[in-house]
Structure 1
Amino acid sequence: ISVSTVHISGPSCFAPQTHELRCQNPVFISHITGLYGLLGFHDVRLPLLASPLRVSCPLRTYLARTINFGSCNPQPPLRGLQNRHALFQMGKYDKYFSECEGNFICKECDWITRKKEDSSTCSFRHHLKTKHPNLFKELQESDKELKENVKEKIKNKERSLKRSLKVVQLEEGSAPKTSRKEEDTPSIVQVFKEYEPDGVRTMKIERAILQFICTATLPLSIVENRGFQNLMSILCPRFKIKSRTHYTRNSLVDLYNEYWTKVDGMLSAASHISFACDTWTSADNNHSILGLTAHFITKDMVPKFIVAAATPIKTRHTAENTKALLAKVLGTFNIEEEKIHMFVRDAATSMVATTNLLNMKSWDCFAHKIQLAVKDGLKILDSFESGSNSLIARLTSIVRKMKKSGVDKESFKEYQTLCSVPNRVLLK
């Protein structure tokens, strides 16, 4: 064994400097280090002994007790499989999934999926939600507990800051008097807290975004649009837009419950209510909706109307099915029969039978009656005149020509102005 240098530092009473001994004999080194230890020298360093010293002599035991080889030889950075494993850390999902050569395996059912380094963990969450509801519930509870712990830490930090501020004010004397304007001005801590995920300002902005989407009949995917994100970053740089999934599962549900409570209160306060109902079917005949609007007068004598329901119809449009949907909506708002003044519906046979089954007073829609009268009149005209020379055929050809010719459109507008007729458009 070759030992080039032994560094021994002693106490200040003996020597303030470092002693160097050059020797090739480990037995001699053992005696020297033991002698210096008896004299009180506290530090013995061997820089070249970072590797294990294979000597069966007192020197090995003494050096193991005296020298901290870990400080001289720090751990190298993670490489190979260890570094790869560190890149694939999933946090809270480590409890439910294990990683093996880039694939992730469910510990409960051996479900396998491949996850890239820059992808999200939505597939893990969806798997737990659909296949293991108990584990998914446990995950949600842990997330909720983690959020509560973070909130508690923030509150404790604020309390400690307030206490330290009070102590400083007591040491310096009475706090200086502040104006009312200064008292109303929020502190820096309060401003930053407002833009936290559950902050007051964040909740107001998210509510306004949902109101904008609902009133403009826009899809929820607009929150992922780059133009919208750029607009929000300019208007409010501190606000962070969340995912569409968050707005669908949380914000939209909260907004719906808020407005449902308002509508329920308005209907409960009204003394008498009239309803109008109708069904709508899409052009491709794939979607059908039953709409129900409530009309009433408030205590301040202001007429109001609200959309009470827009319920999808998934069965046949029979009187029995429609009656069941209307009864369910009325039961949701706890509307008593004595408060219902009248039902307005179209003159279709199924809707007449529906109101009869509900045992409620109903009336035909006046606009629908006019439409039926126009259709009957056109049928009568067709029975008197037929062919290309009939009145209907001539009017149809005029409308078709107006639509195709821009010159005729402009001339038609001029004649409307000369005759003081409202500027209307002809529809086929």
Structure 2
Amino acid sequence: MDKRRALIWNYFNIQSNQSTHAKCNVSSCQQAIKRGQNPSSYSTTPLVNHLRSKHRNLFEQYEAALSQPGTSIVQNLPANQPSILSAFEDVRVWPHDNSKARKITRKVAEMIALDVQPISIVEDSGFKELLTTIEPRYCLPSRPYIRNEIDLLFTEVKTKMKELIAGEFISVTTDIWTSQVNNMCFLSLTCCFVNTDYVRKVLVLNTSPFPGTHSGVNIAEKLQNLVNDWEIPVGKIFFCVSDNASNMKNAITTFGVKWAGCSAHTIQLCVNDAITSQRVITDALKVCRKIIGHFSHSAQACEKLRQVQDQLGMSHKKLIQDVSVRWNSTLRMIERMIDQKAAVTLYSADNNVDQLSSNQWSILDKVVKILKPCEQFTLDVSADTSSLSLIVPGYSLLRSHLLNLGDDHGVQTFKASLIEALDKRFNYYTLDPYICLASFLDPRFKDKYISPVVLDQIKDILGETPDIEVITPEANSAPREQSSCNFWLAEEDVTPATPSTVSHLDSEISEYSSLPRSNMALKDPVCYWKSETRFPALKNWAKQVLSAPASSVRSERVFSTSGNVLSEKRNRLNSNFSEILVLLHDNLPLLK
């Protein structure tokens, strides 16, 4: 396109509804000038002639512009006609430091962390083709470049996490896990706290490689190194929750932090004790496992079972094999066997497979009724909103529920052993004043399940001033949800009393204790204290004490992510980098 043809378009625009004509831009004219019959015959000469004859002053301006050697030939083109430079820009590949390219690269790094994808995905032809289709100008960087981007992302997330926990009282959970892929041991550390807005927060701090012996001294030293890296003073850690292993308890005591055993793990130990106490139950479980093993090793047997299910009008459901370290998997196995009783019995009769007797079926049915409330307790203490406040009331209510459970003929020994195990293993919870303090500060329970001796100890503890800044948010109503746990329904449905002014700690304790307890629809006691303005001293204690979780399930969930990161396809992944990927997977939403 020469200069003369380009500049004329300063004064004309092609008509959108009639491309053979160009419209004069002069507001008093607006005449449509024909520029040819078809694209091959289009010319700007009629436009120049119109300008010469109708708008002499604009024509002279046009001629003067032509005489200037520096005039660009690509300015003021029609809106629907791209310039040559912009056309080249549309197909030119962006360099990696381009702002738009960096934004996409960051999203790729986030996707790898959030979706537990291997970095090698950047070399996969399908992924490359997808990004090229979405944005042809973007060039996917190499694996080392993406690795560096993930490191930068981790630095940003870690800085944000340090800002969140700075100055807060926290509670932590920890556990040890061995990868089946590379046989390396890892120690997890998660923290839980209630922020100044009285919102519960949970962060994953570490899944750190842990070589050497797992002695209490080594674990304590490792924990100290980890909290030092996060700049967390030990004095700011209220509770450390772990499993009930003696080395973990000794390590946390040596570490200088109050220890609480995982209540979910405690239930596991109690149920194991009870199951092994009665021979008729262990025998019935052995038969169940033999039946399930028969189907696990034969595709033909599974197909015949499906045919029997079709014959009986039942849905296709596989039998469930239990896992020794998960008592609830045994419960799932029994429930599925009972659900498929008709199909299993008919199949066993026709195929010479071990069968459960009618008495064993009856025993298993009663075992389910006894274990169901234990499952409910486990689910509640494993929830993200759970706190230590659930343990003592939960134990008391569970024990009462089991004692009042009728129709235990044939499983009396099992039930008695379960209650005995609960009494033995949960006793220390009921005697720990700090754990009971959490229950006292839970408006659903208060002092109902606390002995007078421990209650006096709690009042002495409350006389100490917690090092927490008093921030009183605006009052609002606490959210209410329907409880899913049957044995909690022994708690009364009550209504809060009218607010009043309280000035001294003794008066706060007295008035708080005298108020009706909240009902179990309140899932998180922190919600109550967020809107509470009558008891500032108790509110500060609640912020610290209710941060402690009732179980170490959070650490176990972290290792589930670690198992996905350290997979068979990535068995040579650096352990430190795998920790970065796990932490980003769980904490990256903090940047949103």
Q: What TM-score comes out, normalization by structure 1 length?
A: 0.49
Richer in strand (by share): 1
Q: What TM-score comes out, normalization by structure 2 length?
A: 0.36
